[in-house]
Amino acid sequence: MNILDGKKVSNDIKDEIAVQVSKMKERGEKVPHLAAVLVGNDGASLTYVGSKVRSCKKIGFESTLIHLPEETTEEELLAQVVSLNMNSDIDGYIVQLPLPKHIDEQKVLMAVDPDKDVDGFHPTNFGKMALDMDSFIPATPFGIMELLRRYNVDTEGKHTVVIGRSHIVGRPISILMSQKGKAANSTVTLTHSRTKDLTTFTKDADIVVSALGVPDFLKANMVKEGVVIIDVGITRVADETKAKGYYITGDVDFDEVSQKASYITPVPGGVGPMTIAMLLKNTLIARERHRAGN
């Protein structure tokens, strides 16, 4: 069993980006500037956004956190988005999801300038990605692809079973892994809550990408020997014995499934840190595009 060490690989990527930033500074160029908009005080979102902003600082990016109250109206948020679109100092920005219930998420994401959409959630970028065109690729699937590439995991002609059809992970990773290229060329099955007899699919899978959000859902008797496991689940489970009052766990029963897997991502320390590294990578790409005037 080999661990797909997202923490290590994400640090490698961040080091590579930091070198690029140093070169930009030496040339007297503007460094990449990422902004993050957070509405409300969801605990997990606060942690993620805090982590994104801290990572920016570490690698030499500029960063701006716009923390708005829970009661922010849709109009106010849309005005913030328009302001970020017009601010030429900002290379890329994200609106952290989920948004409070009274705000139409799609309306907000549609308002983001596709050239600054480093999350890759705007239909223009998502459509371009699906058509094999150059675009911003959503950070979590981008991170999974990069992890598979850097560990030279063989995906060609393999059966990849994705669990979950979210716009952020399941849907895009199913598209990316079926495309041509390294860590791709896979035969993909996209499963979801209405799939009948899920185990039939997971037992046949060479690669399982689980993005469900149900702790310890995937058990050893649901997969075959030698399977590659990508665990995208990050769930907080309440636990009074922990300093934070909770612990983080994935979709996969790691102790059981790791006995059968050829490669497996741990939680924490697998896909999570890769997401942040690839968001930074997208911001670097955005800066380079803006410098080149496109």
State yes or no: residue 97 binds ligand GUN (CB under 6 A): yes
Least spacing, CB of residue 180 vs ligand GUN, in Å: 25
Q: Is residue 106 annotated as part of the catalytic site, yes or no? A: no
* Among 55, 96, 135, 174, contact with ligand GUN (rule: CB under 6 A): 96
State yes or no: residue 139 binds ligand GUN (CB under 6 A): yes
* CB contact at 8 A, 163 and 169: no
Q: Is residue 119 annotated as part of the catalytic site, yes or no? A: yes
Tokens of 99: 């948004």
Considering only the stretches 95-103, 146-154, 237-245, 256-264, report the one whose residues sit in contact with ligand GUN under the rule CB under 6 A: 95-103
CA distance to 36, 51, 67, 255, per residue, from 96 (Å): 7, 12, 10, 32
What residues between 101 and 120 interact with ligand GUN by CB under 6 A? 119
Least spacing, CB of residue 99 vs ligand GUN, in Å: 9
Considering only the stretches 20-28, 93-101, 193-201, 236-244, report the one whose residues sit in contact with ligand GUN under the rule CB under 6 A: 93-101
* CB contact at 8 A, 104 and 121: no
Tell me whether residue 39 or residue 168 sits nearer to ligand GUN (CB atom).
168
State yes or no: residue 94 binds ligand GUN (CB under 6 A): yes
Length of the chain counted residue by residue: 294
Tokens of 156: 């060609």
* CB contact at 8 A, 274 and 8: no
Residue 161's Cβ-side half-sphere holds a number of Cα atoms within 13 Å equal to 22
Site string for ligand GUN, 260-279 (x = CB under 6 A): ---------------x----
Least spacing, CB of residue 59 vs ligand GUN, in Å: 18
Least spacing, CB of residue 135 vs ligand GUN, in Å: 15
Considering only the stretches 94-102, 175-183, 187-195, 212-220, report the one whose residues sit in contact with ligand GUN under the rule CB under 6 A: 94-102
Q: Is 191 helix (H, G, I), strand (E, B) or coil?
A: strand
Residue 236 pairs with which residues in a beta bridge?
Answer: 248
Work out the number of other CB atoms within 10 angstroms of the CB of residue 145: 23
What DSSP character marks residue 31?
A: P
84/288 Cα distance (integer angstroms):
18
Longest dimension (CA), the chain: 58
Tell me which of 5, 117, 119, 251 is the catalytic residue: 119
State yes or no: residue 161 binds ligand GUN (CB under 6 A): no
Tell me which of 5, 14, 80, 96 is the catalytic residue: 96
Full DSSP string of 27-40: TTPPPPEEEEEEES
Residue 275's Cβ-side half-sphere holds a number of Cα atoms within 13 Å equal to 22
Considering only the stretches 16-24, 88-96, 141-149, 159-167, report the one whose residues sit in contact with ligand GUN under the rule CB under 6 A: 88-96
Q: Is residue 52 annotated as part of the catalytic site, yes or no? A: yes
Contacts to ligand GUN by CB under 6 A? 94-97, 119, 139-140, 168, 275
Residues annotated as catalytic (active site), given as ranges: 52, 96, 119
